Amino acid sequence: MNEWEWQLLEDKSPLEEVEIAGTLVRIGHRVRLHPRQGGDVIDLALAGQIAAIEALEQDYEGKVHVCVVLEDDPGRDLGLLRQPGHRFFFDTEEIEPLPSEEQRPAKPVSQPRILLAGIGNIFMGDDGFGVEVARRLAQRSLPSDVRVGDFGIRGFDLAYALQDGYETTILIDACPRGAEPGTVFVVEPELTELAGDPGEGLDVDAHSMDALKILRLAASMGWPSKRVLLVGCEPATLGPPEGLMGLSEPVEQAVTVAVDRIEALIPQILAGEWPGSAMND
């Protein structure tokens, strides 16, 4: 990465409040969304929706970005996600603050404690394992402390998401370890090797996903290297499929195993009981 690219990553600061249409808004305030004309199908679905502000950020050019979560999320069932975890970003011109008398019913915006991050490439056979597990987890009734993100091969998105203060991140990916295809395992990656020169080895490809490189990038951006687990699966193949696109049979069967394993880990972690050496028992 060159100096200009690093500036783009680092020069992004949170704001406490922003004036929109003559009204000061803060995190938690309710707003109505008015996406600009000529947008895509997601913008059409979000037009007129009520949302709560989750974050206010200013980039290196001074432009303000408003991150919101919807009170009625149309993307939960339709798959209309602009950002992982049902968050959407708008310019201030696309936000209408609701009057003060309509602020009281606002739903509180709480910061989830656990990030479930599915990663992988659905066009590369069993490399799509993490994406499929994340998709199925998003359909489950999980605690409000948990956020599910299908990051695919978007490494920068994951690096940014790790800055949001999660206590625990569970990465979900296909990882060759020499076991039988379809074997599901849970390990705790060694994070001490994330330290060192922030620029060393950070030639991150925006169209691929290397978990270690992304964790190092996140650490160089200020992520305090909190607890991380990897829920992995031994792939049968990580190359382009010869026939129909999709997972091999043993890895397809392992998806359910991984979903159940992660659902069992969540209450344990939320209770303050780190899985430790019993993770694969």
Average pLDDT rounded to a whole number, residues 160-183: 89
Is the domain of 253 the same as that of 184? yes
What is the domain range of residue 91? 12-102
Is the domain of 137 the same as that of 96? no
80-135 pLDDT, tens digit each: 333 444 678 889 999 999 987 666 544 455 567 899 999 988 888 898 999 999 99
Q: What b-and-e string marks burial along 149-158, b requiring 16 or more CB atoms within 10 Å of the CB?
A: bbbbbbbbbb
What band does 12 get if pLDDT is binned at 50, 70 and 90? low
Is the domain of 28 the same as that of 122? no
Choose the final residue of a domain: 102, 137, 164: 102
The reply to whether the predicted model has a pTM over 0.85 is no
Average pLDDT rounded to a whole number, residues 212-216: 80
Q: Give a yes or no: residue 27 inside a domain.
A: yes
DSSP sequence for 218-248 = HHHTT----EEEEEEE--S--S--SSSSS--
Give the residue with greater pLDDT, 61 vs 144.
144
State whether residue 247 is helix, strand or coil: coil
Choose the final residue of a domain: 56, 81, 102: 102
Q: What is the CATH number of the domain that holds 228?
A: 3.40.50.1450
CA proximity to 82, closest of 113, 40, 31: 40
59-80 pLDDT, tens digit each: 767 788 888 888 765 444 333 3
Strand partners, 88: 68
Give the per-residue pLDDT at 279. 56
Asked whether residue 42 carries a pLDDT value surpassing 90, the answer given is no
Q: Report CA-CA distances (Å) from 212 to 64, 78, 237.
A: 31, 32, 21
Tokens 């679905």 appear where? Answer: 45
Tell me the C-alpha distance between 245 and 64, whole Å: 41
Tokens 């003060």 appear where? Answer: 100
